[in-house]
Structure 1
């Protein structure tokens, strides 16, 4: 991964300087379409990109287990899975909603679809339906799938809306030819956390990090505080 850099151009007028920063500016994932989304201050794409690309500066096995614990609880079976070597790809689920950004964490044994939003009232049922559609028609994994929502501080508890029964799977009518019949929504693998929770995780990683990664974390924290001034980190 290339070093964090500063985005060229002025960006949206009125934004704080910390909000104009992009980690890994030379990434091939930053297409023209992606940069248009990132430059829209109403979308969560910039904060999502900076947060997850910063976390991806560390090996995934150092932070994904803690991430799923924060989102899904201490007893989530996701913690016991292998996460080393996972890929972290924003926009991989191709969710087109203007109020969310998706990130796919693709591990050896399971796949996590992260849905990040700036809304304190995310439509959980709609988001879960769209994730199931993305799993069935875009991602087509051969492993169980978990869903994690990232929402602003102050969001009411989303847990009751995210409970997934052991029978919760991809409906047969939604499967595409060749998709593994074992693909399911991971029981106990749906949850949520706030942006504050996520950045606290990054700050913990930064305590013993080199200067490069430490700077990336602190710039991302500054962006969060620009968006939510009441957040104290």
Structure 2
């Protein structure tokens, strides 16, 4: 997309659109677009996109610390939709350096940003240099402290190439968790079996635990840290000042 595009105006119009309509717009306007699949409800976007324009790029991040069930789910999605799923890995030298200097669980002692930066943000940044637009499964109700105001469409200046525009779409932004799960069940969409064991928001195995009654879904992520820090860096625009 052009650098002169009015993202605010388009966002205002798309706020009233359905996720399918937003995805259809995104796919029509961007040939070089990829869907970020994290192994949770992002599979809803894969399902919708497969019905609109089969063959869309899909990628996911393998941090090396995922649950066994998540790896099984990633493979299930690849086969179910017969897609080429681009699995991204962190830089091995950077991982080895972190582990050698701080061990395997340094995030419990300082914070998760350094580990996530190496295992997630680094591979994502490299991937996003190859595309013009990307699609995420963010919702406003996922994290009131950081996601309550996210738009449907935005210029992702955090990951854009210098001088270029990187368009970011969040088609599920106005959906609730209930709407996501209603879609999953009505359309027979595959999902991570960990959801049946109390896991709502699923990340790396050491940093994710089930949530109890009355707890917000993000409370199962990095539970030893403040609620305002529950972002890994993939969506840095949510907390960027």
Normalised by the size of structure 1, how large is the TM-score?
Answer: 0.31
- Structure with the higher fraction of residues in strand conformation: 1
- Structure with the higher fraction of residues in helix conformation: 2
| Higher-RCO chain (CA-CA 8 Å, sequence separation at least 6) | 2
